[in-house]
Amino acid sequence: MKTLHVTTPFTQLKLYFSDSALVELDFEVETDPDSKPVTGLMQLAQRQLQAYAQSASEQLDLPLEPAGTVFQQRVWEVLRAIPVGRVRTYGDIARELGSSARAVGNACRANPIPLFIPCHRVVAKSGIGGFAGQTAGRELAIKTALLRHEGVEIPLLDPM
């Protein structure tokens, strides 16, 4: 598996690629300054992330291969349809899929490719909710920064 380190205004990222798709993305504290894109797909990912950092209207649209259950895949498809600058609640997505808000939250937590599968656009009915399995700390600060970058008012009072 090939990896690429990318610095963004929101966080340091480590992206993992198969030969044909992005398969995982990790938030990390340190990057590898010697990391260079070695494939066309990696170059495209780096360009898309740089463009998104400049303007939230830029699309993050790469071939993705997230590993997950059938249910998780269904949730992640719904997440990919949430437009930039909008949010949905865990409960809204659960009703759409005939599931529970907790199951949707668990699928969001298991999302291996945040940003490209925008779980940061899913919030609790009474506030911002969690991010990457955390309800406080660095991960929640990243979620808040991403939502602000996309023009979402914080605190969240009027979800999609």
pLDDT tens for 83-115 read 999 999 999 999 999 999 999 999 999 999 999
Where residue 55 falls among pLDDT bands split at 50, 70, 90?
A: very high
Which one of the listed residues 4, 42, 119, 147 is annotated catalytic?
119
Task: Tell me what pLDDT residue 49 has.
Answer: 96
Task: Tell me what pLDDT residue 160 has.
Answer: 42
CATH of domain 70-149: 1.10.10.10
> What is the spatial distance between Cα 11 and Cα 53, in angstroms, rounded to a whole number?
11
Q: Which two tokens stand for residue 63?
A: 């071939």
Angle, nearest 10°, between helix axes 70-80 and 101-109?
Answer: 90
Residue 119 known to be catalytic? yes
Q: Where are the domains of the chain?
A: 2-54, 70-149
Task: Tell me what pLDDT residue 35 has.
Answer: 76
Task: Tell me what pLDDT residue 157 has.
Answer: 43
Measured in degrees and rounded to the nearest 5, phi and psi for residue 90 equal: -55, -40
Measured in degrees and rounded to the nearest 5, phi and psi for residue 7 equal: -95, 130
Q: Is 156 a residue whose pLDDT tops 60?
A: no
Average pLDDT over residues 113-141: 91
Average pLDDT over residues 52-74: 96
